[in-house]
Structure 1
Amino acid sequence: MSGLIEGLPDSVALLCLARVPFYFDPYLLLVCRSWRDAVCSPEFFKARQEVPAVEFLSICTGVREKLWQLYDPLNDIWVILPDIPSETRDPEDFAFVSTAGKLFVLGGDCTYYDRTTDSDVGETATDAVWSYDPILGSWDRRASMLLPRSHFACCVLEGKIVVAGGLNSSFQPISNAEIYDPETDVWVPLPDLPSIGFSASGVVIGGKLHVFYYGLSTVRILENGGCGWAWTVKEYGWLKGPMAVVREEAYVLNDGFVFKLDKELKIQKMVAEAPADCSYFYLGCYFTMIGLGDELYMVGSEEIYVLTVGTETPTLRELPREWYPRDGHTITRSTMLRL
């Protein structure tokens, strides 16, 4: 490759091209042969790694058929991702996380109702793991989990994916936990959860994984101490509801209000009230919160609100509904992708 940008050394020009958002790569390939060769070169991928990281909101819409999308808050652009090339039905009650610059879809319930047989067909829990590389623009099948599961806790801890609890193929709760290294594509067992329950969820706060069960007042905490991974069980007095972390500070939505928590996870102050017309913000149904930069993205089934918490006076705004709905507008999962 030579003469990428007139008047600039190729090394500098390559850094300029690397700053173009990845979703414009197909257009870069069409400019000229030298740009096409540059974008496809190992030097370009290396230059991309030197560019300051950018955070994207990723959502999944639809129930029976999924549509995967990314939102770039810096440029206010939505991007549609390709479908997962799976031969089975798109899962429900799956996990959706991001690490190592890739999106990961794990497990879930792949059953569906077959009218011809008047029965449910498919796997009630799967061990499948898929990853999406936004630079290459493709999904890849990764190593399967050690056990199939749905309705489970899943978080990224120290750059690795931890899954814990959930329901097995017989809809029975399990205590199994495991950890995945995206660099080696290997799953390793973790100590079992000290107790089991239904509908597990998790959040990482202070470098520790906190696992909650619906209806229980205790939290199971996983940390990597001097003697390896270990669980502890504690009673928790903080408010129940969806949680997210912004700049190492935890926030929780409870009964329509967003509260900031202190280091002991006790209420520090009330930050904002959810919009009155969004009943699911109060009920917590089909609702998640994601921290991006200094903002808290409150993602409901049909609306997305952005709460700026990095200022003295928090502000709340609604994100224009410019994402593409599938299967009744329903947003079923969301996560943050950092590139």
Structure 2
Amino acid sequence: MSNSEEPPHKKRNMEPSPPSSSSLLSSLPADVALNCLARVSREDRAALSLTSKSYRSLVASQELYKTRSLIGRTETHVYVCLRTPPPNPNLRWYILRRRNGSSDLFPIPSLASQPPEASAVVALDWGIYVIGGLINGKPTPDAWLLDCRTHTWRSLPSMEVARANAATGVVDGKIYVLGGCDDVKWGEVFDPKTQMWKTLPLIRKKGSADVDVHGSLVRDQKVYLFSGKNGTFYYSPRERKWGRGNRDQVRGNRRDWCMVDGLICCISSYGGVFWCEPDALDWREPEGIMCTKEVRGLGSLLMRLFYSRVVHFGEQLIHWWDQYKVNHVIPKKFGVSHELEYLLPGARMSTSGRNMLLFWDVVEGDRLEIWCAEISLERHQGGDVRGNIEWSSAVMTVDPFVDHYKVLHSVSVTL
């Protein structure tokens, strides 16, 4: 070997290493790089955002999510908010992840100042808005935003009125908040572009201040509010007017109303899942009754949902029940336990794309499991709707079991 010739081990070290994915992207024109980035998974985008500030900014940009929508690469992500049991109750947020046939709740940063109960939540674009709620038993006008692109929180301008257990809905890119207060400013609207709240026209319906919110949804660009005592109200932003719809034929025992694959669905306190056609909301003379039917094929889940304790009823209702127990004799038909969660048991229901999600809990010895099932709906001849269980599994395990966790919110976001 001549003195001018490099040793073999030095030759190997001098060979160029293959370029990384980040360097390849940086060498492309901005629009081409954006189009490439829009086609990779969320996990890969998250890993790439750690390499530099420029990529982190690109991953969180509005342009990226517009591109993903245009090329049909959007994904639905489900977020869940749990309240931990006493003596140190906290709120914790999770994202539901499905990998290799298994599902689990993966923790994300939570909001320390979030009210422990009675907040309203709504998804818009890439974020989840948390609005109002009860802090030390008092309503708050505060609002917050969870940026689902980066899993970071920020505070929003406060509402004009403090609210708890309000109804929410999105119409034309604006968030409408109805009820949850005794003030004449019964409704407000938030414009994310201007970051401003505005008061809606005064509702003219008698007894509106006493409306108890059991759920809300948007149909035909109207925000509907479901009440156990007063039936159904709606606000039409485009017409700037209030209206009244039908009420459920069974009052006070349905919740989590939502649109699932073109049908209106809800869950009862005994674990049954019900449905009706969207036009069933429209007022019909003379009774104004909305007829709902039970979804068939979910009998295997009925008792599991009935015995679940994941529903949180709020301190106001619990306080009212405690006072009622003091002043009244409770009939034996209510069962051995007089605790409210045992009198009104049940699960939680939300949506994921065109399907519904059901959450419930199971106690196995010293272990608590939170379960989730995804249900698709199928119409049958004769007017029946059947539910098909696409998958069902435990998504969280707490060991040892101390007390029941509460599923406060479940929200789907498309990114």
Which range, TM-score by smaller chain? 0.7 to 0.9
1:199 to 201, 209, 212: 212
Alignment of 1:74-153 (within 5 A): 76=103, 78-84=105-111, 86=113, 90-111=115-136, 124-153=138-167
Q: Displacement, 1:109?
A: 0.6
Structure 1: how far apart are the matches of 2:226 and 2:387?
28
Instruction: Work out whether residues 262 and 268 of structure 1, in 8 Å CA contact, stay in contact via their aligned partners in 2.
Output: no
Structure 2 counterpart of 1:322: 396
* Amino acid corresponding to residue 18 of structure 1 in structure 2: A
Alignment of 1:137-216 (within 5 A): 137-167=151-181, 176-193=186-203, 194=205, 195-200=208-213, 201-214=215-228, 216=229
* Structure 2 unaligned blocks of 5 or more: 1-21, 281-290, 310-342, 362-369, 381-385
Structure 1 counterpart of 2:274: 259
Instruction: Work out whether residues 126 and 148 of structure 1, in 8 Å CA contact, stay in contact via their aligned partners in 2.
Output: yes
Instruction: Work out whether residues 62 and 327 of structure 1, in 8 Å CA contact, stay in contact via their aligned partners in 2.
Output: no
Structure 1: how far apart are the matches of 2:126 and 2:249?
32
Rate the CA distance shift 1:295–1:260 in 2: closer, same or farther, 3 A.
Answer: same
* Amino acid corresponding to residue 190 of structure 1 in structure 2: L
Instruction: Work out whether residues 46 and 59 of structure 2, in 8 Å CA contact, stay in contact via their aligned partners in 1.
Output: no
Q: Displacement, 1:209?
A: 1.5
TM-score (normalizing by structure 2) = 0.65
1:256-288 deviation per Cα after TM superposition (whole angstroms, max 9, x unaligned): 332331233244663334431222579765743
Structure 2 counterpart of 1:334: 410
Structure 1 counterpart of 2:375: 307
TM-score (normalizing by structure 1) = 0.78
Structure 1: how far apart are the matches of 2:237 and 2:25?
48
Name the SS of the counterpart of 1:279 in structure 2. Answer: helix
Give yes or no for the alignment of 1:231 onto 2:242.
Answer: yes
Structure 1 counterpart of 2:55: 38
* Amino acid corresponding to residue 278 of structure 1 in structure 2: L
Structure 1 stretch 196-205 or stretch 266-275: which is displaced more?
266-275
1:276-305 deviation per Cα after TM superposition (whole angstroms, max 9, x unaligned): 122257976574322222311123464322
Rate the CA distance shift 1:18–1:286 in 2: closer, same or farther, 3 A.
Answer: farther
Alignment RMSD? 3.5
* Amino acid corresponding to residue 124 of structure 2 in structure 1: T
* Amino acid corresponding to residue 46 of structure 1 in structure 2: E
Instruction: Work out whether residues 306 and 346 of structure 2, in 8 Å CA contact, stay in contact via their aligned partners in 1.
Output: no
Structure 1: how far apart are the matches of 2:93 and 2:377?
27
Structure 1 stretch 57-66 or stretch 204-213: which is displaced more?
204-213
Q: Displacement, 1:324?
A: 7.8
Structure 1: how far apart are the matches of 2:67 and 2:392?
33
More helix by share: 2
Identity %: 20
The higher radius of gyration belongs to 2
Structure 2: how far apart are the matches of 1:323 and 1:55?
24
Structure 2: how far apart are the matches of 1:27 and 1:2?
14
Structure 2: how far apart are the matches of 1:3 and 1:102?
30
Instruction: Work out whether residues 141 and 162 of structure 2, in 8 Å CA contact, stay in contact via their aligned partners in 1.
Output: yes
Instruction: Work out whether residues 125 and 413 of structure 2, in 8 Å CA contact, stay in contact via their aligned partners in 1.
Output: no
Structure 2: how far apart are the matches of 1:4 and 1:315?
43
Structure 2: how far apart are the matches of 1:270 and 1:293?
18
Name the SS of the counterpart of 2:64 in structure 1. Answer: helix
1:27 to 47, 52, 58: 47
